[in-house]
Chain A
Amino acid sequence: MQRYSFWSLLQHSFTGNSGWQAAWRNAPLRSSYDVVIVGGGGHGLATAYYLARKHGIRSVAVLEKGWIGGGNSGRNTQVTRSNYFYPESSAFFDHSLKLYEGLGRELNFNVMLSQRGHMVLAHSAHELDMCRRWMNSIVMNGVDAIMLTPEEIRRRVPILNFRARYPVVGGFIQPRAGISRHDAVVWGYARSASALGVDIVQGCEVNGFLRSGDRVTGLETSRGRVSAERIVLSVAGNSTVLANRAGLRLPLTTMALQAMVSEPVKPVLNTLVMSAVIHVYVSQSDRGEIVLGAGADGYHSYAQRGGVPQLRNTVAAALELFPCFSRLRLMRQWAGAVDITPDTTPIMGLTPVSGLYINCGWGTGGYKAIPAGGDTMAYTVAHNRPHHLIAPFSLERFTSGALIDEGAAAGVAH
């Protein structure tokens, strides 16, 4: 793998930048692999990378019906945090954040992790109590979080509107949280995986499963048939569609989740700010865009585009918190198709179909989970048993009742 560094940039600048290798191979689909991963987003590519890097399994293909990172990995707001309520969630997401902290160097690809903090605002005494409870749980889980007084919040975010309809009475922050560059995460994993021998096959849609009894033996794709002993489904909003073809039922609802950015401006917001009551979260990208996101559009959709009502709600909420942004123009708006579970916790691990592994149900919070999602799924596939971090996220929990409802616990689902 051609090494990226300032020195290589310098060297290549003398040859007109004509010597750069393609970052990953566009491989043709072979007839069989040990493992086939369906879905070329962050989770799928990370799974392939860790299979090759940590488990020595290199006969791996990642099949992507569109272009890699063209799904939700290319449509999120880059939030990278691990401030969750339940111990199971904390353990998983902090494992992911720790991987993010070393990811740029491990992949030799700058993912631009900016640990500028994730701040949660409270707008009433009751909400402040809930924040304390949430913060205490985070700290008990061994993750960083500190309460903030209104004065401390004002110092960090001077442009925040403290006299909003629901005034800011305090909050808390996870200092190690922040944002990162979503495209870089996808491309970084793709480059390293490809260099390790993983075949990345774009423009390859899965149309059906080949079965033998109660196990899967391969896939019918738009580029031909491929046989594999182990198949991972990592297709987010389309999980129900693919699972149905494999005879697997999943408790998912697919909805549109919008995000939008303003025109790029000079640095003005240095933290990621979230308000549950005013229902928006706001950050500023390293390119200068003010990034906004809120809740899903509220009805089933695979369309990957949201509607005007939710767009207006999101902007109105953002302007309630930051009235100074009123004169900025909205530059771009888009949506992903997110798969939401009844308890807003993902579904990962083995399935009743032998040889088929599932990684889905990330809903509105899959981006921050990419490294741990890939790492734990790679372990699970390599050993044919769930990694201990994802054992609580199995499909069985819906029958046993052992739900992990982060949405209810923290008042915020991802």
Chain B
Amino acid sequence: MKAGPYRLPSGGLIDRSNALGFTFNGRPFTGFSGDTLAAALLANGVRTVSRSMKFHRPRGVYSCGLEEPNALVCIGEGAHAIPSARATMVPLLDGLVARSQSGWPGVRFDVLRLLDVFAPLFAAGFYNKTFMWPSWHWFEPAIRRLAGLGASPTLKDPSRYDMRNGHCDLLVVGGGVAGMSAALAAGRRGLRVWLVDQDAMLGGHARWCRGRVRGADLRAGAPEATLYGGSTAGTEIH
């Protein structure tokens, strides 16, 4: 199975026996279960993922988490579209359809990069210093089309959502080593604990560091029940 020119042959948190197909801007690629969309794109050598807002400079994946400013892509289509999803937070699924949100005719060649030539003209607040005559209406449609990141779906959202009211004695925000330790210590004292993390698995940075913590190799994504060898009864993990 073609792994992608930048894919390491071993290591990491992915399952190389489980290949997944996805498309990006209509082109088919392959990734592995456990990849984020960003990881799969990088493995396949996709470097330009979006364009900067004002001057349409090429942008690629910049980070590996929630703080990603560049790799905002549209996941899905039609009523199922999710605009401006951070590719670093999207778990790769088989059949995933992803598209860039900027660049015309495409993100790899964008005619509007021409704006960069005129960058000095677009000083801070330039739109307050011009576009007054004959009236703002003459310029507004074009400016509005240049603004905005993703496109909103225009069909009713087919998904249904639920809301849950939770009650706990201790809420631990952050499931890295410190958070897990705190949750465990509190759980041992009989507190009802909620442990929440922004990512799909616990461990935080420990997922990438070498070595072991108290005998548990967190890079293997150790199941929560064997966390530190202790029990997590009474602890909810989200």
Q: Report which A residues bind B (CB closer than 8 A).
A: 4-6, 8-10, 12-14, 16-17, 20, 104-105, 108-115, 158-159, 161, 181, 184, 187-188, 263-268, 286-288, 290, 323-329
Do A324 and B156 form a contact, CB below 8 Å, given A12-B123, A105-B133? yes
Which residues of chain B from 149 to 195 have a CB within 8 Å of any chain A CB?
149-157, 159, 161
How many angstroms from the CA of A119 to the CA of B170 in the assembled complex?
48
Q: Establish whether residues A266 and B152, one from each chain, have CB atoms under 8 Å apart when the complex forms.
A: yes
How far in angstroms is the closest Cβ of chain B from A314? 16
Q: Establish whether residues B132 and A290, one from each chain, have CB atoms under 8 Å apart when the complex forms.
A: no
Q: Report which B residues bind A (CB closer than 8 A).
A: 79, 81-84, 118, 120-121, 123, 126-133, 135-137, 140-141, 143-145, 147-157, 159, 161
Q: Of B83, B130, B143, which contacts A263 at CB under 8 A?
A: B83
How many angstroms from the CA of A12 to the CA of B126 in the assembled complex?
11
Q: Establish whether residues A263 and B136, one from each chain, have CB atoms under 8 Å apart when the complex forms.
A: no
How many angstroms from the CA of A8 to the CA of B129 in the assembled complex?
9
How far in angstroms is the closest Cβ of chain A from B68? 14
Do A287 and B153 form a contact, CB below 8 Å, given A10-B121, A13-B120, A13-B121? no
Contacting residues, chain B, for A324 (C-beta < 8 A):
79, 152-157
Q: Establish whether residues B156 and A323, one from each chain, have CB atoms under 8 Å apart when the complex forms.
A: yes
Contacting residues, chain B, for A112 (C-beta < 8 A):
127-128, 131, 136, 140
Contacting residues, chain B, for A14 (C-beta < 8 A):
120
Do A20 and B123 form a contact, CB below 8 Å, given A114-B137, A114-B140? yes
Query: Quick one: which of B82, B128, B147, B148 has the most chain A CB within 10 A?
Result: B128
How many angstroms from the CA of A112 to the CA of B132 in the assembled complex?
8
6 sampled A-B residue pairs with Cβ under 8 A: A111-B136, A263-B149, A265-B84, A265-B149, A323-B157, A327-B159
Q: Of B118, B132, B133, B157, which contacts A327 at CB under 8 A?
A: B157
How far in angstroms is the closest Cβ of chain A from B138? 11
Q: Of B79, B126, B151, which contacts A265 at CB under 8 A?
A: B151
Do A268 and B129 form a contact, CB below 8 Å, given A10-B121, A17-B120, A324-B156? no
Contacting residues, chain A, for B156 (C-beta < 8 A):
161, 323-324, 326
Residue of B nearest to A329 (CB): B84
A-B contacts, CB under 8 A, total? 123
How far in angstroms is the closest Cβ of chain B from A23? 9
How many angstroms from the CA of A321 to the CA of B154 in the assembled complex?
12
Q: Establish whether residues B120 and A267, one from each chain, have CB atoms under 8 Å apart when the complex forms.
A: no
Give me the 7 closest cross-chain CB pairs, A-B, nearest first.
A288-B148, A326-B157, A13-B120, A4-B129, A266-B148, A323-B156, A265-B152
Query: Quick one: which of A4, A326, A327 has the most chain B CB within 10 A?
Result: A327
Contacting residues, chain B, for A5 (C-beta < 8 A):
129-130, 132
Q: Of A105, A264, A329, which contacts B148 at CB under 8 A?
A: A264
How many angstroms from the CA of A9 to the CA of B131 in the assembled complex?
11
Contacting residues, chain A, for B153 (C-beta < 8 A):
324, 327
How far in angstroms is the closest Cβ of chain B from A6? 5
How many angstroms from the CA of A112 to the CA of B147 in the assembled complex?
14
Contacting residues, chain A, for B126 (C-beta < 8 A):
9
How many angstroms from the CA of A158 to the CA of B149 in the assembled complex?
21
Q: Of A16, A159, A161, A267, which contacts B145 at CB under 8 A?
A: A267
Residue of A nearest to B134 (CB): A105
Q: Of A110, A113, A115, which contacts B129 at CB under 8 A?
A: A110
How many angstroms from the CA of A326 to the CA of B153 in the assembled complex?
9
Residue of A nearest to B118 (CB): A13
Residue of B nearest to A163 (CB): B156
Q: Establish whether residues B81 and A327, one from each chain, have CB atoms under 8 Å apart when the complex forms.
A: yes
How many angstroms from the CA of A159 to the CA of B156 in the assembled complex?
9
